[in-house]
Chain A
C-alpha cells in the first residue's frame, strides 16, 4: 500500500521559532510537493521538487524553504514562523512524466503559530 507520511499531525509554535515539517514517501517517486490549505483558498503550492537536490518555487514560497537530500524525504522549513503561517500543510508525491498525474497525499500537518 502506497504511503506518504508526515511526521507531525499537530504542532503549536511561537512567533519567530524555526519549524521543520517532514515528509517521507515509500513509492520511489521523483516528484514531491508542499501545499498549504486554507479555508476558501483551496490548496496553494509552496514548493516542489522534481528530483533529489532539485527544487522549484511554487505560487507562495515567501517565508518558506525546502530540503530534498534523499529521494524519499522532502522537508519544509519555516525559518521564522509568523502567525499568518498558521495553516494545514499537505505533502504529496507523484511519478514524473506528462501522462501521469495522480498525487498521493499525506494526512497533513496542522500548524498553529502563536
Chain B
C-alpha cells in the first residue's frame, strides 16, 4: 500500500522569500514521485518528477525537490516566491510499476505582496 502526507494544508509566504512545501510518502515498492500545481479553476499541471535517477529534481518555474529515501520525504522548494506561484500543490506517489497513483490532499500556497 502507498500513502502521501502533505504536512501543511496552507502555506503563506511573502513575495521574494523562499517556499517550502512538505511531503512524506510511504510505498511498498521503489516509488516514482511527482509534484503537480493547480491554479484556480484549472486542471493540474506537472511541476517535476522523480523516477529513480538523480535525487535532486529540477522542475518548471524555478521549483525543485529532493528525494530523501531515509526520511521518506520529497519536499518542494523555490528560492524566491512570485505572485504567480499562488496555487494549490499536490504531491503524488506511484509505486514502481504500479498503475495507480495516490494524491496528497494538497497545500494551498498564498503569496503576499
Question: CA A106 – CA B42 in complex, angstroms?
Answer: 8
Whether the Cβ atoms of B99 and A105 lie closer than 8 Å is no
- Chain B residue numbers with a CB within 8 Å of A110 are 41
Whether the Cβ atoms of B43 and A107 lie closer than 8 Å is yes
- Chain A residue numbers with a CB within 8 Å of B99 are 31, 48, 50
- Chain B residue numbers with a CB within 8 Å of A102 are 34, 46, 49
Q: Number of A residues whose C-beta is below 8 Å from B?
A: 24
Q: Which of A4, A44, A45, A101 contacts B43 (CB 8 A)?
A: A4
Q: Which of A35, A50, A58, A103 contacts B46 (CB 8 A)?
A: A103
Whether the Cβ atoms of A42 and B44 lie closer than 8 Å is no
Whether the Cβ atoms of A48 and B45 lie closer than 8 Å is no
Chain A 29-61, CB-CB to B under 8 Å as 1, else 0, gives: 001000100001111110010100000001000
Given A42-B106, A43-B90, A98-B96, check contact A103 B42 (CB 8 Å).
no
B10 CB to nearest chain A CB (Å)? 11
B54 CB to nearest chain A CB (Å)? 15
Q: Is residue B13 contacting chain A, with contact meaning CB distance below 8 A?
A: no
Whether the Cβ atoms of A105 and B104 lie closer than 8 Å is no
Q: Is residue B113 contacting chain A, with contact meaning CB distance below 8 A?
A: no
Whether the Cβ atoms of B44 and A103 lie closer than 8 Å is yes
Q: Is residue A99 contacting chain B, with contact meaning CB distance below 8 A?
A: yes
Whether the Cβ atoms of B103 and A42 lie closer than 8 Å is yes
Q: Is residue B105 contacting chain A, with contact meaning CB distance below 8 A?
A: yes
Residue of A nearest to B97 (CB): A98
- Chain A residue numbers with a CB within 8 Å of B105 are 40-42
Q: Is residue A76 contacting chain B, with contact meaning CB distance below 8 A?
A: no
Q: Is residue B87 contacting chain A, with contact meaning CB distance below 8 A?
A: no
Q: Which of B45, B96, B100, B104 contacts A42 (CB 8 A)?
A: B104
Closest 8 CB pairs of A and B: A105-B43, A98-B97, A42-B105, A43-B103, A42-B103, A105-B44, A107-B43, A101-B32
Q: Which residues of B contact A (CB under 8 A)?
A: 9, 32, 34, 36, 41-46, 49, 51, 90, 94, 96-101, 103-106
